[in-house]
Copies of this chain bind each other. A is one copy, B any other.
Amino acid sequence: MASKVRLTAKERGDEVLRAAVRAFSASGYEGTKTDEIARLAGVSQPYVIRLFGTKQQLFLAAVETVCARIEQIFREAAAERPDLATLGRNYDRLLAEPELLLVLLHSFSASGDPVIGDCVRQRFGSIYTLVRDLTGATPEQTRDFLSAGMLLTCMSAMQVIGPNPIPIQWAQELIQTFGID
């Protein structure tokens, strides 16, 4: 059994973090129980807490890794060709990892908490600046790019896009405007 294997705190921490991203993407900050994260990671609930201190710090770590991954995808796309059209064509890579956009959305929702809000403003600003600088786009163009991303993010949360989308008329009409998805 894998649960019998002893790992270093760093390795186990990474596994717990991955489980946390999955759990938070499904249920949000308040809605996710540390118990559920522990179950997904195959460890006990108190150990999750000891590895990260508090549930809040674990959420912050999840937001950090998710935003870092989003930036990584944009960087790779820009390496292919540094313009917004190319980055846009790579939106399907974000949709292929639905946890990314979902954790992002839940982080917006949790921004009422001052500590989380500070982190989220920082990270989202970092994504905005990265996109603008990678492509040399104007603020207006970057805004339109991110706007489309936010609509896709909300549609992901509504489960009308992504894996196993719930079919509904208006969503299918919208999806078609994005081209083949």
Contact = CB atoms under 8 A, between A and B. Distances in A.
Contact of A111 (B110, B157, B169, B170): B157
Determine the interface band of chain A, counting residues with CB < 8 A from chain B.
35 or more
B108 A158 contact: yes
This chain's copy number in the assembly: 2
B28 A173 contact: no
Instruction: Please classify the interface of chain A as helix (H, G, I), strand (E, B), loop, or mixed, using the class held by over half of its residues.
Output: helix
B31 A168 contact: no
A158 B26 contact: no
A105 to B, nearest CB: 6
A57 interface: no
Contacts of A157: 108-109, 111-112
Interface of A: 26-31, 105-106, 108-112, 117, 120-121, 124-125, 128-129, 139-140, 143-144, 146-148, 150-151, 153-154, 157-160, 166, 168-171, 173-174, 176-178
